[in-house]
Structure 1
Amino acid sequence: MKFVIFADRSYNYIKPLANGLQKTLIEMGHSSEILYNGIYWLSDLNLFKVVIADIYRIYLNIKHKQKDLFIYRFFGLFFFLTAKRRKLLKECDCIIIVNNCPSAFLKNKRIDWLREKFNKPIVNYDFHYLPNQGWWKYMNEGYRGLEQYDWYLPVGLVTEFAIPKGIPKIYTCIGMDVNSKDLYPEQDDFIVLLDFPRPGHEIKRSEEKKTLEELGVKFIELHGRYTTKQIRAIYRKASVYLVSCRESFGLPIVELQLCGAKIFTPYLEWVPAHYLNKSINKKSAGLLGENFVVYENKDGLKKALQKAKIEFNASKNVEKFKEDYPFYNQISNKMLETFVLKLKEGAITSQSHEEYKKYNGFISKDDDYKQSDRI
């Protein structure tokens, strides 16, 4: 089958997710083409504003003495719908949009245009699944619900919330593959990586730094902007990663484990997408993999760091990650083929979304992801 994937080439989660999906589809014998400016094109941005933004990006790249730190957009958007791409869209069997909740559900005229013009199923590939993500109460009239797409391909289904039983299974959970030649252990010293500072968590960050200084442990605190090459070079040197707030998923948590790091969090609730042995139909917490350490307080952090420094083994940490989270390490060919078979059999069509709006009423407005972000 033929797939067109709408993605982005920025230094974020979209590009690695799209690349892993394309790689797996091709390995399974399918055709796949990624449109890297696709997400920006779907946003229907004002091109004059894009030009102004690009001029500013040129200035920033010169200022930072890096030609590719800020990515230019205008020409990629202006020439997006070429004759070749229209042909791809016309001949494909399915359009897959790699985008994250809640922005994936903004009302979108261009998604409507794609559906009307090419009559193809439009599918969302995301870390999450809207019904148990805790976003619904914040999605106002500027958003749509489950009727935005014809099917869903979540990386995982586990959060602290439950998938409502009234919603039929309109998803195929396929996992992800972000493995890359630049994600591997390269530690030559015990270094702690502090995530980007978050507003409201300044006191906790100050305590973390003080603890590290008292122990004489080297640390790096993330600031500003990095290219993928730059940030992964830092990841390869890190032995421990300190999560700075509640993560709805947290791709760095996966990438750092592929580099052999341990993941430290003060609260179990801050990493709900990484719960193990937790029912998707029950609202609760779960266990975490062996690479996770919940330290709770300053004394707990100090003891955990001392232990981690003595016992650190990057290769072992990589293997433990792959054992505990196989779907976060590799896309399930079996589940992806299940999805493809549904397309072939006509169980997923360009009209499938029309049945989904009625299921929005089952999504709980009591679920609130912000409740898990303790300060």
Structure 2
Amino acid sequence: MTGPFSLTGLERLLAAPERAAGWGRVGLLTNPSGVTRDLTPSAVALQGAGVRLTRLFGPEHGVDGSGAPGEAPEAGVDAASGLPSSVLYHLNEEETLSRLGGIDTLLVDLVDVGVRFYTYISTVRDVLRASRTRQENGEPLRVVILDRPNPVGFTVEGPPLLDPAFRSFVGVTTALPLRHGLTMGELARVLAAEEGAQVEVILTDAPDGWHGHDSDGERPWVPPSPNLPDLLHTRLYPGLCLVEALDASEGRGTALPFRLVGAPDLDAHALAARLNALDRTFNLGVTARPAFFAPTTSKHAGQRCAGVQLHERSGPLTRALPLGLTVFTALEEAGAQRNPDWLQKLLGVPAADVPRTPEAALEALSGWQAAGEQAALTLRPHWLYPRPGVPSPRPGSEVLRPAP
């Protein structure tokens, strides 16, 4: 074994497939991000190891990842594995139970990107609810997470816990700060505790203290969703996704989602100058370049937009929310209009509490950040990996770890 990544949960199961003995008929919730180090799809690798897979399931964007935001196309039969497939996106409990009929164990192999509004955790919540109901009905459904590192690391960012008034499919739990710094396995433990369900996690084999994506090229990056083509876009996403709550474009429908923002009739040069002045004052970590683009889909499709392209200024961005709120409010200053309902669903706080100038927004964020960090510490019973500077026992050599 070389490099910092070591083995994912999938690869640990492949190394010891006898662990699947007694799992019965096995389903797999996955998408293109579920691959081995050599880019073999998890379904194909598991079949090769003798695991009895009978069906594939996909989250938002589908098993093959072809769906646009908010879509989950049915692929029918997966070409690589030959298995039938369906989706588990935004279903009610009856629909989820129906689709999981005939499955005794559900494996989950998905890359999560560490943000409360990323919907893969919402689908995992739905699966855990179905598992609990099946257990109550005497038809157990075992749920096993094949864990992977959170590609943007342990960093936690406020706002703090979601206001229950703003629960939605982009905010299914009030237990998480906006950027939670958990792996999918740790998230599943949080959700299982809330739902009264059971979950098992096959841990990654990462060295103590390491968490994130292998940036040395040993493990290729596979986009977990269509608008996160690389790690830079993924680092920006927790903050720049807030632009969804404006009538400005967040860059969807371009080659640079969450790096390009703008709208028709904006002054690109003035916006870039404003953002660069704010960066000098608040050290946001990016340089803004005036840019012009025409999205092919989503907001302002086919229209010429003026705005900015964001460039990391001094190494990988570590915090995205100050930048996201700054860009959001600077676009408002330039004339963009907010969608209060979507803004409070994303942030989890009343839209009226979100100031309309960058300076005031960053001041509010300082209080949210402290509260978010405190909220994150309450999740320590669900941690499976050590955090730098925070006492937390390593789970040790045990691979399967049930929820407490």
TM-score w.r.t. structure 2 length? 0.31
Q: Which has the higher contact order (CA 8 A, sep 6+)?
A: 1
Q: Which has the larger helix fraction?
A: 1
TM-score w.r.t. structure 1 length? 0.32
